[in-house]
Structure 1
Amino acid sequence: MIAKTNTIMPIIGKLYCSSSETVLVVRRRPHVVNGGGFVVMDCSAQRVVFRVDGCGVRGKKGDLILREGDGDALLLMRRMGGMVEALSIYKKWKCYSLDYEGSRKLVFSLREPNSCLVKNNAIRIFTRNRGRDFKISGCFPDKCCSIVDSKGNEVAQVGMMKEVEELIESKDLYHVVVNPGMDQAFVFGVIAVLDYIYGESTHR
């Protein structure tokens, strides 16, 4: 079910919420550039909105950074590891906001099933605000999935660009439709983690 409300839902900040539906294009970067990652552009492909740095030779494995279009770091996504994860039925990520002084504040956590014992194997996202939790519905590797809120509303949809799909069998270029009022920085923080989980452009 697609949400009909235009309620602003700032998770990172109001600056990243639009009053209208927004279509953004994701293009993977070569793995040799900052360890891979991807660039998020507006639908005209004229302006870079966000950049995601992967964890290649210049980064720490399991760390991803979401940057604004001008290159300023906005979010740090970090995979929790060690013995605790090895013994847990979930793999966990934590996302922190970064300010100009470098201080961090937890924004959301993401939980990925790590065991066949989990009855509902959906990837779930938990924010600081109670009642504002989400899950992933569909298949990210196929670029056919949605971020769904706790009421069952789709707040963002990932899909292949039809004009590209007809020309090449590649997932290197796809679009993300973000519903009115939804925080776009949050959406692409989640997509960055999904990209890593499924061993795509950021997992190097």
Structure 2
Amino acid sequence: MDKSVPVVSKIFCSGAPTMLMIRRRPAVVNGGGFVVTDLSHSIVFIVDGCGTLGSKGELMVKDGEGEPILSISKKGGIVQALSTRNRWNGYSMDYQGKNKLVFSLTDPKSCTAQGAPVRVHVEPKRQCKKWDFEIGGSFADRDCTIVDCTRKIVAQMGKKGLMGGKDFYHVEVQSGYDQAFIIGVMAILDSIHGESTRC
């Protein structure tokens, strides 16, 4: 029985837990962002931030061949300006360049909302009523966990050995979960915290 949980696509779901290594690119090289490799050092994903894309609040996740697979944008407008939360939308991209909303992430943006959980809603709606995934812990300390609405761990982030730090860390994605989606979430957290994808 297939136990995969695709968000972007089933092709990014693995039958076994997968360790992904994330290395930041300096902002002066290719506009920043980061590169994601597997344990054999093959490039699996490339994330471009606004230094490459040219506009704030815009992120792009590409596959190992450099083909765009996920476009992410921070929602703007007057309603967003009055809200206590920021909203980011992730769109899958097909071979014709068409975008389809696949998830949205909300994060607190004011001191009154500090401590409020960062939650992800998947489109189309699933069995969970209020939210599909929740992020806990500290991205800045490279110690955060993504759980589903049943509190099952989906992905866990940490520092990698002695080289670990802000520039080089890892995320372990559990079997059946969409790795492209997880990297999209990591890209948003990176931008929220003003790191490699931010202008």
Q: Same fold (TM over 0.5)?
A: yes
Equivalent residue number for residue 32 of structure 1: 28
Equivalent residue number for residue 69 of structure 1: 64
CA distance, structure 1, for counterparts of residue 116 and residue 173 of structure 2: 24
Q: How does 1:32-51 map to 2 (within 5 A)?
A: 32-45=28-41, 47-51=42-46
CA distance, structure 2, for counterparts of residue 184 and residue 78 of structure 1: 19
Q: 1:161 to 1:119 in 2, by over 3 A?
A: closer
* Equivalent residues of 1:34, 1:58 under 8 A apart: no
Equivalent residue number for residue 9 of structure 1: 5
Equivalent residue number for residue 138 of structure 1: 137
Q: 1:85 aligns with which of 59, 80, 83?
A: 80
Give the superposition deviation at 1:32. 1.8
**Alignment root-mean-square deviation, CA:** 1.6
Question: Secondary structure of 1:65's partner?
Answer: strand
TM-score when normalising by structure 2: 0.92
Give the superposition deviation at 1:119. 8.0
Q: How does 1:1-204 map to 2 (within 5 A)?
A: 7-45=3-41, 47-56=42-51, 58-118=53-113, 121-128=116-123, 129-131=125-127, 133-165=132-164, 170-204=165-199
Give the superposition deviation at 1:122. 1.0
* Equivalent residues of 2:35, 2:43 under 8 A apart: yes
Count, aligned residues: 194
Give the superposition deviation at 1:155. 0.4
* Equivalent residues of 1:144, 1:158 under 8 A apart: yes
Per-residue displacement from partner, 1:75-134 (whole Å, max 9, x unpaired)? 000001232221011110001011121111000000011234448611110001323510
CA distance, structure 2, for counterparts of residue 130 and residue 70 of structure 1: 31
Give the superposition deviation at 1:159. 0.3
Give the superposition deviation at 1:144. 0.2
Q: 1:149 to 1:57 in 2, by over 3 A?
A: closer
Identity of aligned residues (%): 48
Per-residue displacement from partner, 1:11-70 (whole Å, max 9, x unpaired)? 11110000001001000111123320000000121x100000010164211100000000
Question: Secondary structure of 2:195's partner?
Answer: coil
Bigger mean CA offset, 103-112 vs 7-16: 7-16
Matched residue type, 1:152: R
Uncovered stretches (5+) of structure 2, i.e. residues with no partner: none
TM-score when normalising by structure 1: 0.90
Give the superposition deviation at 1:162. 1.7
* Equivalent residues of 2:103, 2:122 under 8 A apart: yes
